[in-house]
Structure formats: C-alpha cells, structure tokens
Structure 1
Amino acid sequence: MSVSTLESENAQPVAQTQNSELIYRLEDRPPLPQTLFAACQHLLAMFVAVITPALLICQALGLPAQDTQHIISMSLFASGVASIIQIKAWGPVGSGLLSIQGTSFNFVAPLIMGGTALKTGGADVPTMMAALFGTLMLASCTEMVISRVLHLARRIITPLVSGVVVMIIGLSLIQVGLTSIGGGYAAMSDNTFGAPKICCWRAWS
C-alpha cells in the first residue's frame, strides 16, 4: 500500500469530522441577519406552543373572553421571563443555553378536570381560578425543589418509564383534541357539537 493511499484514507475521516462540525458554537456571535432570522424562527415556534394550552384550558372551563386574553398574555409574559432566566444563567439558576421555557401540555388534562370539579361543586369563576393558580404556585415551588435532586432519580426513571409517561400524556389529550374538533365546549352547550360544517372547518384549519 502506497503512502498516498494511506494519506487519502486518513484524510477522509478528518474531512467528515470537519463537515459535521457546527457552524456556530456556544460562545459564537452570528451576524445580525442570521441572528434576527433565528430569533424569528424561535418566536414563531414558541408562540403557538405557549398559547395553545392556555387556550384549551380556558375554552374547556368556559372562561369569559377577557379572562382568556389575560391568561394568554400572562403565559407569554411568564414564558419570556423564564426563557431569559434560563438563557442568562444567573448562578446555579439557568442552563446558559438557548432553552425556551413555556407552558406545558402535561397539565392540560389535570387542570381541566380540577376546574370542572370546582365548577360542578358550585364555585364561581374567580374562586375556581384562585384555586387553580394557588395549586400551580405550590406545585411549581415543589418542582423547583425536586429539580435539585432529580439527577439522583435516573436509576428509577428509565427511558421505558419516561416513554410510558409521554404516552399517557398523549392519551389524556385525545379527549381535549376531539372536543376541539367537534366545536368545543361552547358547541356542546348550544347543541351544535359534531356538526359536519364545524368538523370540516376544524379539520381543514
């Protein structure tokens, strides 16, 4: 085997490694056009994911339009503040990475069930929302405390367990999705739920 053949074979892995490298690393600063384009991408990607859980919960609980707008605005504001904290990484708080924080679909079904139970028990809208917000504040503090020792649970929370949890979350959202396709809870109240026109419009949109 000639020396040139050995050099060409050794050069191929180096070239493949160079081609697979990231364009911009963690501390790099891309030019302004690329930065603005990436920012618009992240903004559009996170916008729908942030407002959708709040919109589903408000529609399911029959909240007035003014309260729905207020909750959506709070979701966007909280997502922005939490994302800044996560990206900037003040001390032990935050990852220092472009990690967008937003509302989670994990809590859509529990909040709808909890709010529905409160409404069935005779609670008005302010009382129901106060109970839900208080529960969320307590649960978020608990989650922050648990996050400090979450790495110790990796032996218990295996990929199999995580996969089952994700599957259960998806299954719990089936009812919410079908209700939305059929016209939502407002359509249930005026007996237009499941009308062909509504279903076709929701499926098309």
Structure 2
Amino acid sequence: MSEESELIYKLDDNPSGKESFFAALQHVLASFIGIITPTLIIGGVLGLGDEIPYLVSMALMVSGVGTIIQAKRPMGVGAGMICVQGTSFAFLSSVLAAGFIAKSKGGGPDEILSLIFSVCALGAFVEIFVSQFLEKLKRVVTPVVTGTVITIIGISLIKVGFTDLAGGQWLLTNKPELFASPSNLFLGILVMVAIIIAHKYGNQWVRLSSIIIGMIVGMIAAVMMGKVNYSAIGQVESIISLPMPFKYGLSFDLAAFIPVALIYLITAIETSGDITANCIVSKQPITGNSYIKRIKQGILGDGVNSLLAGVFNTFPNTTFSQNNGVIQLTGIASRFIGVWIGGILIVMGLFPHIGALFRAVPSSVLGGATIIMFATVAIAGVKILTHVELNRKNMLTLAVSFGMGLGVLLVPEVVNTISANIGGELGAIIKSIFGSPVTASGLSVILLTLFLGEYPEQYHPIIQDFPMNDELPKKARS
C-alpha cells in the first residue's frame, strides 16, 4: 500500500467475522514465533525442562489478553489500536541473569521461576510510573541513550543465538564433544539460508513469514536427520493449561531486580516508537493531545500487561513492531481485529501440546532464526545512532558506554573476580548490575548523559509532540 492510499477498514470500523478472522490470523503468523521464542531460549538455557510447555502456554495466553487490553482500552489502559503484545527479547539477558542468581543458590526450576516472575511483576510498576511522566524524561530519553542500549541488547543476545545455532547451551555444558558438530551447523545455516531466500525471492507475504518458513525448512531437515525429540510431546499429560497466579511462589533479590527495572525504562521508549509508527499506518494523528494520550495509555497498557505476565507465570510483554507492517499490507487498521488476535492466542495457549511441539524443535533450528532476529535488534540500535551528531561529548559517551558493555561481554571474569572478592549481598548486586552488558552500558550512558549536560540532539522524535517542544532549539524542532 502506498502512503496516500485509503485504509480498507479504519481504526473504529468493525469488519465481518470472516474478514476479521483472516486479518487476525495474519497478525498471529507474523508474531507467533516472536512470542514463544524467548520462552524457549530461557527454558533451554536455565534447564527448565518439563516446565517449558506450560510456560509457552502462558506466554501465548497472556499475550492474547494483553492484545485485547490494548485494543479495547478498558478504564483508559491501552492505546486503543492493534498493538499485539508479546514476550520482549529486550529482557532476555536480565531474566537469564536473575535465573542464574537463583540457580547459584541451589534453586531448582520452581525457585528460578519464582524469582524471575516476582522481580518482573514488581518491575512492571516502573513502566506504569514512566507512562504517566514520559515528558519529564527528556534529558535522559535521547537517541544516544536509546540507541546505545538497544544496540548492546542485540549484540549481547547474538551470543545466545550463535550458541543455539551450534547446538545449544545444554550440549555445550554436558556434551561439548557434540557441540558445533557438522549436523548442528548444517541445520542452523540451512534455516538462515531459507530465511534469506524467502526475503530475496518471495512476495510481501512470503517475506513477512520468512522466519516461520525458515524454521519449517529446518524442522523438515531435522526430522529427516532424526534430530527431533518426539518424547517431549508425549511427556505432556494435561490436555489444557490453566493459568495459576504465582504458581511458583514469590521471592525477591535486589541484584536480580535492578537490571530488570532498567530494561523496563528502555522498553517504555521502544513502545512509544512502535505506537507512533502504528498511528502513521493507521492514519491517526501524531501531534496534539490525542496523540500524547494514546502514547501514555499504550505504555501504561504495556506495564499492566507485563504485571499480568509476572502474576500468571510468563515473561514481560511489549508491543510488537512487526504487526505495523501487517496493517500496512492488509489495509485493515480496525482495533476490533486486536480482539480476534487475542482470542486466537488465548485458544492456542490453552493447549500445552503446542508448547511441547516447539520444545521438540532442535536448538540449531531455533538458533538459525534467532541469530538473525537478535542481530536485527542491534541494527535497529545502530540506525538510531546514525542520527546522532558525533561531537566530542557524544563520542566520549558512546566510547565509555560501549567500552563498558562490550568489555563485560567479552571478559566477564573481571566482574566475577571483583564480585567474589567483595562477597556477600553487595558482591552479588555488583555482579548483577555490572555483570550484564546491557545494564553496565545502560547505566554508563545514562549517567554520562546527565553529567555532561545538554546535547544538541536532546530532542527525541518519539516524544516530539509533547507540550515542551516550544522550548526546544529551532534546529532540533526542524
């Protein structure tokens, strides 16, 4: 669709049931893999085993409920648009760090998940709070800060994706002689090649479904090679998964909470960008009070949905950006489609065999897809940084922030040694904060931004239409 073309169904139009179902199905296909992949990665890395099918079910179910909230906007919570909710990749490193904290204390799957979901539920209040005071963060919410953090998130996740491509963390730990075997590498590379071919030669719908196509090709090859674990499907005893609030109990650790809270701040800014893009493709204003209200309520919806995610045993949610492309391709912006999307996801989440089926996917197949997805996150951060003026202050800020983040990623022994020498709770907190590339880089860029003062690019396109714009320099407003 061209930018000048009219929408087939506008925001408040209500299509027929048949049209709504097929439009919703396309959104589900575009986002399904993104919703469940973080859960599969976290479950595999932390060794959660039999809990994975239930966690996948909860991820789908909560994503469905969250999508309905964003569409219906009950009590002013939600953007009132098709804002498909899904498990956020941005939290992956922080959630894994929290899991390893519980694991280092001798905790099993229940203790690991108890700590993760507790800190994620508590951290959701950070985003809820930020949603009401977004315009007050203009000194911190700059392209330098958001670009740096998003880039480091992507770079740090590439390590996870590349490990999966070679066979996965379990194989690396327990059977290192099979790690990076020719068969594992073949599967991972095959998935990547299939995704690339789908992008190059496919039509718009094929390109939109390229990740799914790549994984299907990889699964077919894995079946032929005898590398699919069918026992994971047969081990599921229950036919239906029912949500149970705080099924794994409640626990807290400050060292686990701080990195999660920082990522909530960043995802609030990401969500505002996704909603702005949604406004553009849905032909809604991106100026004025109605736009500001929609952004605030959309971020509030993200926070509330992440709170629900923590309560009902899944990982933090955020607004997916890929669904904006589906709106543009279909010409259907009706927010009622969001209710249909949510309904489909909830029904899928009720059946744990769906989660078990994806647990059977070999790590190499998953890694071939996720390494591209994670690298795309890093490139999105780089794209933001291309709009930054490389003056002395910004170069110093970027140099220190990337130096800290990449230094921690490449030489984790430094922080581990410092933490061990200090010992106790303080040592654990230091390891959690500075042991994560995302938090080490994120805190560095935020503190330097505040310490070094005003920036010419202080103005951020995401919050450009908040009332304080008249105070901005003319160059920034242009």
Question: TM > 0.5 between the two?
Answer: yes
Task: Using the TM superposition, give the Cα deviation of residue 197 of structure 1 relative to its aligned residue in structure 2, in angstroms.
Answer: 0.9
Q: TM-score, normalised by structure 2?
A: 0.37
Q: Please name the residue that 1:129 is paired with.
A: 113
Partner of 1:146: 130
Q: Is the 8 A contact 2:71 2:78 kept in 1?
A: yes
Match of 1:174? 158
User: Which consecutive residues of structure 1, in runs of 5 or more, have no partner in the other structure?
Assistant: 1-15
Letter in 1 for 2:186: C
What is the letter of the counterpart of residue 123 of structure 1? G
Once the two structures are TM-superposed, the CA of residue 46 in structure 1 deviates from its matched residue by 1.8
**1:38 maps onto 2:20 in alignment:** no
- Quick check: 1:50–1:103 contact (8 Å CA) kept in 2? yes
Counterparts of 1:66-145 in structure 2, within 5 Å, are 66-145=50-129
> What amino acid does structure 1 have at the position aligned with 2:75?
G
Which structure has the higher relative contact order (CA within 8 Å, separation 6+)? 2
Task: Give the aligned partner of residue 446 of structure 2.
Answer: none
Corresponding residue of 2:180: 194
2: CA distance, partners of 1:167 / 1:67: 31
Q: Deviations over 1:142-174 (max 9, x none)?
A: 222222212322453123322222111101101
Conserved 8 A contact 1:61-1:116: yes
Q: CA deviation at 1:141?
A: 2.4
2: CA distance, partners of 1:166 / 1:105 = 11
* Counterpart selection for 2:38 from 53, 76, 84: 53
Q: Distance in 1 between matches of 2:189 and 2:101?
A: 30
1:38-70 Cα distance to aligned partner (Å, 9 max, x none): 111011112111100111000000111x20111
Q: Following TM superposition, by how much is the alpha carbon of 1:121 offset from its aligned partner in structure 2, in angstroms?
A: 2.9
Asked if 2 retains the 8 angstrom alpha-carbon contact of 1:62 and 1:185, the reply is no
- Between 1:74-83 and 1:142-151, the stretch displaced more is 142-151
Residues 34, 159 of structure 1: alpha-carbon distance in 2 compared, 3 angstrom cutoff: farther
Q: Which amino acid aligns with 2:122?
A: L
Q: Is the 8 A contact 1:75 1:102 kept in 2?
A: yes
Aligned to 1:24, the other structure's residue is in SS state coil
Counterpart of 1:13 in structure 2 is none
1:185 is the counterpart of 2:169: yes
CA–CA distance in structure 1, aligned partners of residues 142 and 126 of structure 2: 22
Q: Residues 21, 159 of structure 1: CA spacing in aligned structure 2 closer, same or farther, 3 A cutoff?
A: farther
Unaligned runs of 5+ in 2: 191-217, 219-478
**Structure 1 letter corresponding to 2:179:** F
- Is the contact made by 1:53 and 1:105 (CA closer than 8 Å) also made in structure 2? yes
Shift of 1:181: 0.5
User: What is the CA-CA distance between 1:36 and the residue it aligns to?
Assistant: 2.4
TM-score, normalising length: structure 1: 0.84
Question: Given residue 183 of structure 2, which amino acid in structure 1 is its aligned partner?
Answer: K
> Partners of 1:104 and 1:50 in 2: how far apart?
8
Deviations 1:53-106 (Å, cap 9, x if unpaired)? Answer: 111000000111x20111111111111111111110112211110111111001
Tell whether the 8 Å contact from 2:98 to 2:115 is kept in structure 1 after alignment.
no
Q: How many corresponding residue pairs? A: 188
CA distance in structure 1 between the aligned counterparts of 2:149 and 2:44, rounded to whole angstroms: 25
Q: Percentage identity across aligned positions?
A: 37
Root mean square deviation of aligned Cα: 1.9
Asked if 2 retains the 8 angstrom alpha-carbon contact of 1:75 and 1:103, the reply is: yes
Moved segments of 4+, more than 3 Å: 30-34
Alpha-carbon distance in structure 2 between the residues aligned to 1:128 and 1:28: 45
Distance in 1 (alpha carbons) for counterparts of 2:67 and 2:16: 22
Q: 1:131 to 1:32 in 2, by over 3 A?
A: closer
